[in-house]
């Protein structure tokens, strides 16, 4: 049985959003499961000395155009939200809580709803209330979700994942690992699939 493709991303990353729309295609083409690993990219910026895309005016003018163009090309709705970027600790915690309680499929579905809330509907997912509303949906009690966001074990899980990502050389979003081989960027998805099938080149 082939190991899963690990998909690291930040919920505030537009390219991470675009990559999330391809996860089923990656699974179909590679024959491997895609495991979602949301993390806090800001923590990694501190260790690399890099800065967010939006901090470089010239680069950001380009990136914004590129992101909108990439979204149009694949026919997906996209609108750059305000504020941007944001810290997505609550969104990550809701994801890991859902994964623990209901399994990876349910957590992945939540990840897609959170991304759509931010990049399609323009809702501010740095807000606890927005995350609780999206995560509770029609099936959970909002108070239960609110409690989960304060759960110390879940908070520690996010800290661990984020610390691990730095140790494993992960610094961007999206960032994929295939049998330990790193691929950065949604423009490397064809390579992720090819590497998954061939085991390297």
**For residues 15 and 118, which CB has a smaller minimum distance to its own copies in the complex?**
15
Count of residues that bind its own copies according to CB under 8 A: 26
- Asked if 197 is part of the footprint of its own copies (rule: CB under 8 A), the reply reads no
- Asked if 187 is part of the footprint of its own copies (rule: CB under 8 A), the reply reads yes
Q: Which of 96, 159, 98, 114 is nearest to 16 (CA)?
A: 114
**For residues 30 and 126, which CB has a smaller minimum distance to its own copies in the complex?**
30
Question: Token pair 């349910």 is at which residue?
Answer: 106
Q: Kindly write down the DSSP assignment for every residue of 142-190, as one continuous string.
A: HHHHHHHHH-HHHHHHHHHHHHHHHHTT--SSSEEEETTEEEESGGGHH
Q: Which of residues 32-51 bind its own copies (CB under 8 A)?
A: 47-50
Report the distance separating Cα 131 and Cα 94, nearest Å: 7
Report the distance separating Cα 177 and Cα 33, nearest Å: 12
In angstroms, what is the minimal distance from the CB of 170 to its own copies? 9
Q: Kindly write down the DSSP assignment for every residue of 45-99, as one continuous string.
A: HHHH----GGGSHHHHHHHHHHHHHHHHHTT------SS-S---HHHHHHHHHHH
**For residues 100 and 185, which CB has a smaller minimum distance to its own copies in the complex?**
185
Q: Quick one: which of 56, 127, 129, 137 contacts its own copies (CB under 8 A)? A: 56
Token pair belonging to 31: 């024959």
Give buried/exposed letters for 66-80 (b at 16+ CB in 10 A, else e). Answer: ebeebbeeeeeebee
**What does the per-residue mask of binding to its own copies show for 58-97, with x meaning CB under 8 A?**
xx-xx--xx--x--xx------------------------
**For residues 57 and 83, which CB has a smaller minimum distance to its own copies in the complex?**
57
**For residues 4 and 185, which CB has a smaller minimum distance to its own copies in the complex?**
185
Q: Which stretch binds its own copies (CB under 8 A): 20-28, 99-107, 154-162, 177-185?
A: 177-185
In angstroms, what is the minimal distance from the CB of 8 to its own copies? 13
Question: Which residues of the shown chain bind its own copies in the complex (CB under 8 A)?
Answer: 47-50, 56-59, 61-62, 65-66, 69, 72-73, 169, 171, 182-185, 187-188, 191, 194, 201
């Amino acid at each position: 049985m082939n190991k899963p493709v690990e998909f690291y991303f930040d919920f505030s990353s537009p390219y991470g959003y675009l990559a999330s729309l391809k996860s089923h295609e990656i699974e179909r083409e590679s024959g491997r499961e895609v495991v979602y690993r949301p993390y806090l990219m800001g923590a990694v910026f501190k260790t690399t000395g890099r800065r967010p895309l939006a901090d470089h005016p010239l680069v950001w003018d380009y990136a914004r155009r590129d992101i909108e163009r990439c979204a149009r090309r694949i026919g997906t709705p996209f609108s750059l939200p305000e504020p941007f970027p944001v810290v997505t600790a609550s969104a990550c915690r809701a994801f890991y809580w859902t994964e623990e309680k209901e399994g990876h499929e349910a957590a992945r579905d939540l990840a897609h709803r959170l991304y759509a809330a931010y990049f399609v509907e323009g809702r501010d997912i740095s807000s606890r209330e927005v995350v609780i509303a999206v995560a509770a949906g029609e099936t959970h009690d909002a108070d239960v979700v609110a409690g989960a966001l304060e759960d110390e074990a879940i908070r520690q899980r996010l800290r661990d994942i984020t610390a691990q990502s730095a140790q494993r050389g992960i610094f961007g979003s999206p960032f994929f690992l295939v049998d330990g081989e790193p691929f950065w960027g949604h423009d490397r998805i064809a390579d992720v699939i090819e590497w998954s099938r061939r085991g390297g080149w």
